[in-house]
Amino acid sequence: MSPTQRTLKHLRDQGWTAVVVASWNAFSKTRRDVWTADILAYRDGNVLLVNATDATSVSKRLAKAQASPEAQGWCGGELRRCGFAVMGWKKGVRGPDALVWREL
């Protein structure tokens, strides 16, 4: 299961309505996302943009979001305040996969 699939399941299990907003263009071999996010979710009037990744890439993804003019513009310069998360996953050795890091 990919980090995006794991994140979708986690969010839905927590009561969020979530949809993937990132896509791959095979012709141009480019990835298109929404302000560095892969998933858009809402619950109880709250909106959350989520970047899903593996546990080893969380800091890189957070830095990329912080450097994105679009993400900063949407959040007014403060990613934590506006519902932006980076969720990193580590494959479980003996048990289920684990969400090892989350930044809001």
Sequence spans of domains, the chain: 3-103
Q: Where are the alpha helices (DSSP H) in the chain?
A: 3-13, 58-67, 69-75
Give the pLDDT score at 74. Answer: 80
Spelled out in words, what is the top-level CATH class assigned to the domain 3-103? Answer: alpha beta
Give the pLDDT score at 72. Answer: 82
Give the pLDDT score at 7. Answer: 92
Give the pLDDT score at 104. Answer: 40
Is residue 65 within 8 A of residue 79, CB to CB? The reply is: yes
Give the pLDDT score at 103. Answer: 45
Is residue 48 within 8 A of residue 35, CB to CB? The reply is: no
Q: For each successive 10 residues of the chain (104 residues), what is the average pLDDT?
A: 90 96 88 88 93 89 88 79 85 60 45
